[in-house]
Amino acid sequence: MNRRLHRRVVQLAAGIALLFGASLTANSSAQADASSGLPSVASTDARSSVTTLTAAQRADLQSQVDETLSTTAGGVQISANEIAWNGGEPILTLPLPGQEQAPAASPAARDLMGFSADDATPDVNWHKCPAGGDDNRWYCFYENSNFGGRRLQWNWAHCQDPIAFDDYGFARKASSWVNTTRNIDHWGMKVEVYSTSVRLWVENPWSQVAYVGDSKNDRAMHAFACRL
């Protein structure tokens, strides 16, 4: 074999090896994603608090999300630990493994809420319940006392059609709450929470309660939220 032909054969072999190696790498990555068992919104969640979780922790978190999705209707997973309904009108946030309180909204949730990077201010962003402009302040319900556990949040009025907590896997689970809406006409929101027929408590704008009390704990079934 002459030198020129030998060089061509070597170059061709090297090219084939490179392509084959790239194919193996791509296939391995695809298999890794598939074997993780996580949907893309969870596997691509780049928050450091998520990426540092172990595979077992991420699988456990996903099983909690899957359970909620399987027992409710219309929910869409938007991150490793968040579910949104109706385009983000309500959002349910689960605590990450090892945390007692649900974390602040993910970038995906903030996009749905219409928040800019600087929109939430610490003085009114109580216990991760988001507060933006006058017309983008939220009211939140928490699974545990002291604003712990899962967080379920809204910012829309529900004065005629009540919020049914069972639609979001949150019936008889509320133990604390936050209302970040401002106490001014048209922007403030007054929230009234009921069991089946008894009014349990009233949430006035710009207020919070760390524990609803033994007689009201884990009894909330639905709520009305009306503009002032």
Give the model confidence (pLDDT) of 101-159 as tens digits.
999 999 999 999 988 666 655 455 689 998 877 778 899 999 999 999 999 999 899 99
Looking at the fold, whether 91 and 202 belong to one and the same domain comes out as: yes
Contact 203, 177 (CB under 8 A): yes
What pLDDT score was predicted for residue 55? 96
What pLDDT score was predicted for residue 126? 86
Euclidean distance between CA atoms 118 and 130, whole angstroms = 12
Q: What is this structure's pTM? A: 0.83
What pLDDT score was predicted for residue 36? 72
Euclidean distance between CA atoms 66 and 58, whole angstroms = 12
CATH number for 182: 2.60.20.10
Euclidean distance between CA atoms 148 and 11, whole angstroms = 62
Looking at the fold, whether 94 and 177 belong to one and the same domain comes out as: yes
What pLDDT score was predicted for residue 74? 98
Looking at the fold, whether 82 and 103 belong to one and the same domain comes out as: yes
Q: How confident is the model at residue 24 (pLDDT cuts 50, 70, 90)?
A: very low
Looking at the fold, whether 164 and 85 belong to one and the same domain comes out as: yes
Looking at the fold, whether 206 and 93 belong to one and the same domain comes out as: yes
User: Is the pLDDT at 94 greater than 50, yes or no?
Assistant: yes
Least confident of 43-52, 107-116, 154-163, 188-197: 107-116
3-state secondary structure of 71: helix
What does the block give as tokens for 158?
């529900």
Contacts for 199 with CB less than 8 Å, ≥ 6 apart = 192, 193
Looking at the fold, whether 13 and 78 belong to one and the same domain comes out as: no
Which residue segment(s) compose the domain that 46 sits in? Answer: 40-227
Looking at the fold, whether 127 and 194 belong to one and the same domain comes out as: yes
What is the sign, positive or negative, of the torsion defined by CA atoms of 53, 149, 177, 159? positive
Euclidean distance between CA atoms 155 and 171, whole angstroms = 19
Euclidean distance between CA atoms 50 and 46, whole angstroms = 7
Looking at the fold, whether 97 and 167 belong to one and the same domain comes out as: yes
The arithmetic mean of pLDDT across residues 64-81, rounded, is 98
Looking at the fold, whether 79 and 124 belong to one and the same domain comes out as: yes
Looking at the fold, whether 55 and 151 belong to one and the same domain comes out as: yes
Total count of domains within the chain? 2
Looking at the fold, whether 91 and 176 belong to one and the same domain comes out as: yes
3-state secondary structure of 148: strand
What pLDDT score was predicted for residue 148? 98
Enter the DSSP assignment of 22.
Answer: H
Looking at the fold, whether 18 and 126 belong to one and the same domain comes out as: no
